[in-house]
Amino acid sequence: MWQPQLSTEVGFRFFKHSERFPVVAAVDIQGITKKFGQFEALRGVDLQIAQGEFFALLGPNGAGKSTLINLIAGLLRPSSGSIRIMGHDVQSDYQQARMALGVVPQELVFDPFFNVREMLRFQAGYFGRGPENDAWVDEVIEGLGLTDKAHSNMRKLSGGMKRRALIAQALAHKPDVIVLDEPTAGVDVELRQMLWRFIQKLNQQGHTIILTTHYLEEAETLCERVAMMKSGKIVALDTTRALLKNHAGKQLTLRLSGALPIDLQAWVKQQQGDEVVLNVTDLWQVETVLARLRAAQVSVLDMQLQEMDLEDVFMNLVGSHGGSVR
Amino acid sequence: MMKVLMQWLNPFYWLDDIVPARWRGMYTLFKKELMRFWRVAFQTIASPILTALLYLLIFSHVLEAHVKVYDQVSYTAFLVPGLMMMSLLQNAFANSSSSLIQSKVMGNIVFLLLTPLNTLEFFCAFLAASMIRGLMVGLSIYLVALCFVDVPTVHPWWIITFAVLGSALLGTFGIIAGIWADKFDQMAAFQNFVIMPLTFLSGVFYSIHSLPPFWQAVSQLNPFFYMIDGFRYGFFGQGDVSPWLSLSVVATFMLALAWGCLKMIKSGYKLRG
Ligand SMILES: Nc1ncnc2c1ncn2[C@@H]1O[C@H](COP(=O)(O)OP(=O)(O)OP(=O)(O)O)[C@@H](O)[C@H]1O
Ligand SMILES: [Mg+2]
């Protein structure tokens, strides 16, 4: 499988940026709540995303990711709290804030009257960009593999192609902060690779990237930092590496000849038939497990040691059984 | 050769390069709105012209010998400004309202809502495109009608004033309706129960002096009456009321509606949740 390469320049780039604009966060979210009638979709979200970050917003369906993005985009207005994009308040200084922002909506929307290139030029035009921007528009078209479809009417594109056009539209004015709400939903492997290559290039040029996805391996390989949301709250916020280190550890799957000894019950993650899954944080604990099994005269029929990935962390934190706020 | 000529005739070919950056957002939206109806000009321009001409043919054929509204003005000639104005109003309304409701239903309105366009830019771009469609339809009807009937133009400035104001008023009305309506059938209801009756009862086909006093009084409450009467005054130099009265009524109405519309856009009503 294609593996995106994490940039090694991240630290340097970040440093350079913070010299030029002293400590202005790309996105600064303060105490955001959002109610739809009685229903509270967001229940107090605070989040700062630095310039140049590659950030993932994860969470199950209905967690409030899109709601948060729509608030950032100014498509919704918060019930309380405030949001700044590159230091500009999305309400009071909306023009500057929106200039700095490119958003790919989750829904596959399009304008049936125009072709891809026309749409992109219009979109750039709304942001005050003129013919001088056409070269960039062509670069986006090429970078997302839309060259063949540049003159096709939006209506006639396949679903995946529409998704590409939607992404291209968000990039048309070359925004500093790029927010992608499930950009890879319904998209083939080729585009996913193409898309991430293109987005990574933008990130290396200093653009801030925020994405939501349900493909956790994408977040794991691409993003420096992730936030996990559940029921309108952020339940975990850390660098991807730290999350994996603190939450993941390893899991030991065993098939035993007899019952699991009492003194090992506390380690059980799940149990199915004669198969038991134990959580272990370190390798030496495997020794302990085996010693206790020997003492209880239970023999091991099969054994497997697995590293957990972001998906397991995710299930631990936001799955229906997890959810303890750390 | 043909292609070069077409390019030269295309106003955007010239405008695209010279629009200052400050105006570009509004200009782009205006251009998009213009292209949107121009792409389907058969439906948005040609078909209303045809409809108006059918009205002209039928009504003039049936009523020419029976109805005399003003001396020296044939009924067919009398009918032309009314039909022009009616089509102009309906098409100015249709342009902004259908564009907005379609964008809302399709969801592509977000592309506009994500931009830094301010309230006034949003308003002016939709308005200008609506006005151009209305004026194009009105002017085309006039040009085609000239083939059949002599229509004088006594006060061209009144004609232009009322055409511009009328298209602006209905363009604004269309923006309001487009933002307000959530579904196509709400829009159709608005069109059929508000716009159509107001235009038909405004004296397109008759002078209100031919009505009983009660209905004359009712007609004078209809703002559309003043648009058509003032417009007609421009052609024949005579109308049911003074063009200055019509101008003040229409201008007042336009200002009030524009104010309401700007408020509505600014508040984010039905556009931003
Ligand atoms: N306009 C709205 N009116 C009422 N409720 C809404 C509205 N928009 C979202 N919600 C509710 O808010 C909650 C959060 O929705 P949101 O779309 O933000 O979830 P999400 O995290 O993006 O989920 P998904 O992964 O499915 O996209 C859901 O329960 C949803 O039903
Ligand atoms: Mg969502």
Q: What is the DSSP string of A81-96?
A: EEEEETTEETTTTHHH
Give yes or no for residue A298 having a pLDDT over 90: no
Q: Indicate the range of A51-55, A124-128, B70-74 predicted with least confidence.
A: B70-74
Q: What's residue B156's pLDDT?
A: 97
Whether the ipTM is more than 0.90: the answer is: yes
Mean pLDDT over B108-122 rounds to: 97
Alpha carbons B220 and B211: distance in angstroms, whole number: 12
CB–CB contact B116 A96 (8 Å): yes
Give the whole-angstrom CA distance, residue B143 versus residue B147. 7
Chain A partners within 8 Å of B19 (Cβ): 130
Write the residue with the smallest CA distance to atom 3 of ligand 1: A36
Q: Which DSSP state fits A246?
A: I
Is B24's CB within 8 Å of A129's CB? yes
Is A266 or B227 the better-scoring residue by pLDDT?
A: B227
Radius of gyration of chain B (CA): 19
* Per-residue confidence (pLDDT) for residue A242, from 0 to 100: 79
Ligand 1 mean position, distance from CA B184 (Å):
25
- Alpha helices (H) in A239-282, listed in sequence order: 240-243
**pLDDT-based confidence at residue A281 (cuts at 50, 70, 90):** confident
Distance from CA of B183 to the nearest CA of A (A): 17
Nearest chain B Cα to A167, which residue? B111
Q: CB A130 to CB B268 under 8 A? A: no
Ligand nearest to the CA of A76: 1
Percentage of residues in chain A with pLDDT exceeding 70?
90
How are beta strands A54-58 and A225-230 bridged, if at all?
parallel
The whole-angstrom separation of Cα A24 and Cα B90 is 51
With a cut of 50, say whether residue A206 has pLDDT above it: yes
Structure-block tokens of residue A1: 């499988």
Residue B197, pLDDT > 80, answer yes
- pLDDT digits over A32-50, tens only? 999 999 999 999 999 999 9
* B11-18 vs B2-9: helix crossing angle, rounded to 10: 60
Check if B35 contacts A (Cβ < 8 Å): yes
Query: If you ran DSSP here, which 8-state letter would residue B148 be given?
Result: T
How far apart (Å, rounded) are the C-alpha atoms in residues A273 and A254?
A: 11
Find, in chain B, the residue whose alpha carbon is nearest to that of A105: B110
Per-residue confidence band for A317, with pLDDT thresholds at 50, 70 and 90: confident
CA A245 to CA A250: how far, in whole Å? Answer: 10
A203 pocket-lining for ligand 1 (C-beta < 6 Å): no
**pLDDT score at A306:** 79
pLDDT on residue A300: 87
Residue B117 DSSP symbol: -
Residue A251 Cβ inside 6 Å of ligand 1? The answer reads no
Report chain A residues touching chain B, CB-CB < 8 A. Answer: 36, 70, 73-77, 94-96, 98-99, 101, 103, 105, 107, 109-114, 118, 122-123, 125-131, 169-170
Average pLDDT of chain B is: 92
Average pLDDT estimate for B213-242: 92
Tens of pLDDT, residues B133-171 = 999 999 999 999 999 899 999 999 999 999 999 999 999
Q: CB pairs below 8 Å between A and B: how many?
A: 86
Parallel, antiparallel, or unpaired: how do β-strands A27-36 and A101-104 relate? Answer: unpaired
- Tell me the whole-structure pTM to 2 decimals: 0.87
Distance A63 CA to ligand 2 centre (A): 8
Give chain A positions within 8 Å (CB) of B13.
none
Query: Residue A320: which pLDDT band, with cuts at 50, 70 and 90?
Result: low
- Mean pLDDT for the stretch of residues A88-103: 96
At residue B205, does pLDDT exceed 90?
Answer: no
Tell me the residues of chain B between 65 and 104 that have a Cβ less than 8 Å away from chain A.
103
* Position A18 pLDDT exceeds 60: no
Distances (CA, A) of B191 to A165, A291, B164: 34, 83, 21
Cβ-based contacts of A130 with chain B (< 8 Å): 16-17, 19, 21, 24
How far is Cα of residue A284 from the mean position of the Cα atoms in its chain?
34
